[in-house]
């Protein structure tokens, strides 16, 4: 039986009370989406697995701070997961740049930014992002999956920062419309 959003909110509140047993259910409910999101951003199995664990431990530690009034359990979990994934990919990139600058041999996991395009990965994400214009999709992919800041995207695409931010906003708004229309 798939837990509803309300079930998950309640479950998280139980975990917030210190219930370690209930955390198993939280893990089962969220590990697939968390791992999928993290793996998409980090594109390296070993590091993605590390970050999955870190996210789960952070969910456990900070559950008491979850405030239902501020948003759903899903939103809270995915926010934490995505932030950790992006912070990690940026740290790995910075380390790789330092290695290159110091002319040290690059670490084996510099495949962090290699493009592992699996057919099913492309298809599933394309379906979700289908409703976006090409420009909106590009901006969201570069930021949400690529870990770039809006400044970096502006430089890479040679477009003004305000254009980047507008595409992000319009893209997110459109995604929300699609989501609500489907429910």
Partner 1 sequence: MSHEQELSMAAPYVLDALDDLDRARFERHLAQCEECVEEVAALRSGLDEIADATALAPPPHVRAQVLEQIETIEQEPRVEPVPIERPRTWSSVALAAIAALVIAIGAVLVTSTDPLDELLALPDTRVVAVGVTDAYAGSGSVDAVVSGDSETVYLRLENLEAPSDGTVYAAWLIGDNGADPAGLFVPDSDGAVTLVLDGSAGEGVAVGITLEPAGGSPLPTTDVLFLGVLG
- Residue 73 CA neighbour count, 13 Å, CB half: 23
Footprint on residues 54-83 left by partner 1 (CB under 8 A): 56-57, 60-65, 67, 69-71, 74-75, 78-79, 82-83
Footprint on residues 7-46 left by partner 1 (CB under 8 A): 16, 18, 20, 23-24, 27-28, 31-37, 39-40
Footprint on residues 144-163 left by partner 1 (CB under 8 A): 144, 147-151, 153, 162
- Which contacts (CB < 8 Å, 24+ apart) does range 146-154 have? 146/41, 147/41, 147/85, 147/86, 147/89, 147/90, 147/93
Q: Within its chain, how far is the Cα of 38 from the centroid?
A: 5
Given 90, 109, 110, 135, the residue binding partner 1 (CB under 8 A)? 90
Nearer to partner 1, 1 or 127 (CB): 127
Footprint on residues 110-129 left by partner 1 (CB under 8 A): 121, 124-125, 127-129
Torsion angle (degrees, nearest 10) of CA 72, 55, 64, 28: 60
138 contributes a contact to partner 1 by CB under 8 A: no
């Amino acid at each position: 039986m798939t837990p509803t959003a309300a079930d998950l909110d309640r479950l998280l509140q139980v975990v917030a009370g210190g219930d370690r047993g209930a955390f198993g259910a939280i893990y089962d409910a969220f590990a697939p989406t968390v791992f999928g999101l993290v793996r998409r951003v980090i594109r390296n199995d070993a590091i993605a697995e590390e970050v999955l664990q870190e996210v789960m431990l952070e969910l456990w530690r900070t559950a008491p701070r979850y405030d239902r009034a501020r948003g759903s359990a899903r939103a809270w979990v995915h926010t934490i997961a995505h932030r950790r994934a992006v912070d990690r990919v940026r740290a790995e990139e910075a380390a790789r740049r330092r290695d290159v600058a110091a002319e040290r041999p690059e670490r084996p996991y510099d495949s962090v930014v290699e493009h592992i395009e699996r057919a099913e990965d492309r298809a599933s994400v394309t379906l979700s992002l289908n409703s976006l214009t090409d420009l909106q999709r590009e901006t969201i992919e570069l930021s949400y999956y690529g870990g770039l800041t809006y400044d970096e995207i502006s430089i890479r695409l040679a477009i003004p920062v305000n254009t980047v931010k507008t595409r992000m906003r319009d893209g997110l708004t459109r995604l929300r419309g699609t989501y609500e229309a489907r429910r």
